[in-house]
Structure 1
């Protein structure tokens, strides 16, 4: 949910390489700003981890970009697994979300100061693994610590793979979902006999339910904030687009897309933003505030807002966004464990790293309490998780998730969603022609496809 500066042109790097013989490391260092979206690189001094703690067990350096409530929850989880004394002592390094984090992580891998383990969004692996910035996980070593491919949903596991190797192990899925106020839904006649929202199976039915909720609140039926926020715009659009069973393929020289599905999705969003169902010009913070104060009946958001809703004290439940266009689908990403490249990893520390990650996965019920859907299926299938509400009600979103289209310039913290903001926001805000707006976005994406991956 941030905007980023445009990255420096990779074509300049290619030209430079044609005139000057650079080592692989030098070339990577010159290219990292493009991967990170133009971050301030900063110094990596002091990032190298020590080999052992005062207790004599390996000292692991764990980098992540989790802040706010997520950061607190992760800190508590690390403290918990450290206390189990399973042969390591992990220390966290928390860096700024987005481009600064990804650039610094890449520089650490190139510069010989990589942490032992780091969180990445699964959607970024495709931009990092091909350049040698990540080491693959050893599946036999994972099996030794009770972690296997069968413990993950197929599409979640597959996202971490490339060329037959596994470069990331998902901690969670965090999809775009729908929360709803159960009191408002009841007054609008929208609840089923089980006390949950009755099934909604078409765009017209959704509009009807939203208007019924607006009649109850007197303000809006739906909260959805997007203004100046390409990530929010993309999350809803891509959810609806994938509900058309439409492909968005960036593997060729130009993007292969379904224009009809895109236009229908955008025109439906325009119907939502009519000032009655939903405000036409709200930002994300406004949407959060409106739903949490009971001024709307439904809320398009991420699972990460679960603690906010609980703290607000409103009566609510949550579910995947209703399937309106035929195919169940949800936009999502995953926080995933990666091994930033080390030329000569310490085998003792590497073994301890596997144990640390395994312990975090096995303890991820604690992570679920904050809203994220654990990727480790033994946790999802446990009675303890099934008793968590509303988490268990929206957990099926992980089975229908869709990550960003795969390319070196896509994924969380990249500029891809900012391109969507630049070209499509007026379709949302001013009712501009949906076909023209989407065509402009595709042209912008094709510009990036014409450039080489900087690494």
Structure 2
């Protein structure tokens, strides 16, 4: 599917534009070039994910004592991507780093990351058929491979099992019956609210989080909506579908079925104290609720406007720009990635769905509950539009969330929200990719 490696030319303009991609200045960097037996790795994992990654790295070190592995954890978001972009442009990059696939269109075209070597990937045991086709396709650019997916982290539905049982919403086997369209969901939320006496649904609509974007993209894609043409150069904004989604979300608040003005921490705290029947968020809060000891379960996000599609992104491994890598250095990096992939059931404990199919289909992962209950969504995940200004922590997320959150809890009208979204997308389309 992808071709072999080739050279990239980096200009002074690319170096300067790398700062624009992240929106901040470069504070630290490290020397580039994998020395013999030495490997430098950057990631953005904190909290439970950070602890799990450190354990996986300790396992790698124990199995490969001949490799001196230096790992650096940087802050998630624009600061991380600024440092990664600047390091690649300035040729002071680590040997391997984590990148969200949604950010690939901002990094690959300008040569801030290097293409992978298919021949050496195969020698390390990494093949296209080991990954979902849609994720592998998004891992390339211009017909060449640039990333190896570690996982996918979709938008999911959490629910309180005891609340739903008392509300009469569970099937005989204890699973939650999927709602029949928007009205079916309203009925479920009404029933859950009668039990809790507080909230049917808890979710984040305020603060600097990203649930409003993830929820909108989930429902808009279920309805068949696109934001841009396939080449990413023109708007495909479907005002009718956007209005339908926003009116539905606002109606849940108007009926008192959802929480009001909560940030992510507030919504998590209320669900942990069993004040709501349902909670919408990414799957990474699974350990939070397991530690809280509440009776909860999880499922893929229900299909309300069409198929049960869900917004997602994917952590992936990339090779930040370096002037030259030998075959030996490439192979050492790919064997490091392959080691982590083969042990990604450990990574899945935090909720992420392993992208490496031999693990995703393994008995070890299948036995993991509730983490494996929503794994079928991996074939239907909806990554952000394939444009340079999208992806985790991107400018598009920030600017659209600032509109969507107020619309969801009635601080802004649907009409004003639709107009504001259209303006944001037009402005983004009119902004040239700084590294092209």
TM range (shorter): over 0.9
Contact 2:114 2:321 in 1 (8 A): yes
1:85 aligned to 2:64? yes
Range with bigger deviation, 387-396 or 120-129: 387-396
Match of 1:381 in 2: 361
Matches within 5 A, 1:250-329: 251-274=231-254, 276-329=256-309
Matches within 5 A, 1:108-257: 108-229=87-208, 231-249=210-228, 251-257=231-237
Q: Deviations over 1:416-440 (max 9, x none)?
A: 1111133333312325332431232
Count of aligned residue pairs for this structure pair: 426
1:230 to partner: Cα distance: 5.4
The 1-side partners of 2:146 and 2:315 are apart by: 13
1:47 to partner: Cα distance: 3.7
1:286 to partner: Cα distance: 1.0
Range with bigger deviation, 242-251 or 332-341: 242-251
Match of 2:3 in 1: none
Q: Structure 1's 413 and 426: CA in aligned 2 closer, same or farther, altered over 3 A?
A: closer
**Structure 1 gaps, min length 5:** 1-22, 53-57
The 2-side partners of 1:216 and 1:249 are apart by: 42
Contact 1:404 1:411 in 2 (8 A): yes
Contact 1:270 1:431 in 2 (8 A): no
Q: Deviations over 1:165-199 (max 9, x none)?
A: 01111000000100111111100000001101012
Q: Choose from 26, 46, 49 the match for 1:41.
A: 26
**Structure 2 gaps, min length 5:** 1-8
- The alignment's TM-score, normalised by the length of structure 1, stands at 0.90
The 2-side partners of 1:308 and 1:163 are apart by: 40
Match of 1:51 in 2: 35
Matches within 5 A, 1:340-359: 340-359=320-339
The 2-side partners of 1:43 and 1:378 are apart by: 37
The 2-side partners of 1:431 and 1:208 are apart by: 24
Q: Structure 1's 139 and 87: CA in aligned 2 closer, same or farther, altered over 3 A?
A: farther
Match of 2:12 in 1: 26
The 2-side partners of 1:253 and 1:408 are apart by: 11
Match of 2:389 in 1: 409
The 2-side partners of 1:432 and 1:107 are apart by: 38
Q: Structure 1's 201 and 90: CA in aligned 2 closer, same or farther, altered over 3 A?
A: farther
1:451 aligned to 2:436? no
Secondary structure at 2:211 match in 1: helix
Q: Structure 1's 31 and 152: CA in aligned 2 closer, same or farther, altered over 3 A?
A: same
Contact 1:129 1:167 in 2 (8 A): yes
Q: Structure 1's 313 and 252: CA in aligned 2 closer, same or farther, altered over 3 A?
A: closer
Contact 1:200 1:206 in 2 (8 A): yes
The 2-side partners of 1:337 and 1:434 are apart by: 39
Contact 1:214 1:297 in 2 (8 A): yes
Contact 1:88 1:356 in 2 (8 A): no
Contact 2:254 2:410 in 1 (8 A): no
Q: Deviations over 1:97-137 (max 9, x none)?
A: 11111111111111121111000000000111000111111
Q: Structure 1's 123 and 278: CA in aligned 2 closer, same or farther, altered over 3 A?
A: same
Secondary structure at 1:131 match in 2: coil
Secondary structure at 2:120 match in 1: helix
1:446 to partner: Cα distance: 1.2
1:43 to partner: Cα distance: 3.7
Contact 2:189 2:201 in 1 (8 A): yes
The 1-side partners of 2:28 and 2:267 are apart by: 38
